[in-house]
Amino acid sequence: MPPVTFIDANVPIYAAGREHPYREPCIQVLAAVNDDPEAFVTDAEVFQEIMHHYLRTERWEAGQVVVESFAAMMYGRVSSVAIDDVLAAGQLARTHRGLSTRDLLHLAVMHRLGVTCIVTADADFDKVPGIIWMDPAEGREW
């Protein structure tokens, strides 16, 4: 596994969710985070995404547990999203038109931190030059 890998919001969401092909692989990713916490980072926008998901689906009680558990797991390895990241995301939007606003922010934070790997079920990252997309369902040994 690369030295530092970004964890996207869908990893804790799938891990805590109902039966799904991504559930068990995402549980394994989070187990790897527990085993080697220094090898993983995330950003504050990931937590906003998790909260949005659970509030939108009217399952906030479950979502609060996910947010709190993931926050404890990632403590000290959550990057804030600064205005420079927002501006960088705007520049990245010119060349990465397939990415959502949130993904552009993640990408800007990753660039700032020098992170080139992301674990996500979002295949759009496979199209980003210089970024290694790690699909949780690939059956890797995390």
Cα-based distances in Å from 88 to 92, 94, 96, 106, 120: 6, 10, 12, 10, 21
Tell whether 88 is covered by a domain.
Answer: yes
CA distance 24 to 96: 30
Mean pLDDT calculated for residue range 84-103? 96
Tell whether 103 is covered by a domain.
Answer: yes
Q: What is the pLDDT of residue 142?
A: 66
pLDDT tens track for 39-57:
999 999 999 999 999 999 9
Tell whether 42 is covered by a domain.
Answer: yes
Report the CATH number at residue 121: 3.40.50.1010
Q: What is the pLDDT of residue 93?
A: 97
Tell whether 142 is covered by a domain.
Answer: no
Mean pLDDT calculated for residue range 3-20? 96
Q: What is the pLDDT of residue 82?
A: 96
Residues linked to residue 118 through DSSP beta bridges, in sequence order: 6, 133
Percent of the chain with pLDDT over 90: 93
Domain ranges, residue 46? 5-137
Domain count, the chain: 1
Mean pLDDT calculated for residue range 49-77? 97
Tell whether 94 is covered by a domain.
Answer: yes
pTM above 0.85, yes or no: yes
Tell whether 73 is covered by a domain.
Answer: yes
Tell whether 60 is covered by a domain.
Answer: yes
Tell whether 132 is covered by a domain.
Answer: yes
Mean pLDDT calculated for residue range 93-116? 96
Q: What is the pLDDT of residue 2?
A: 52
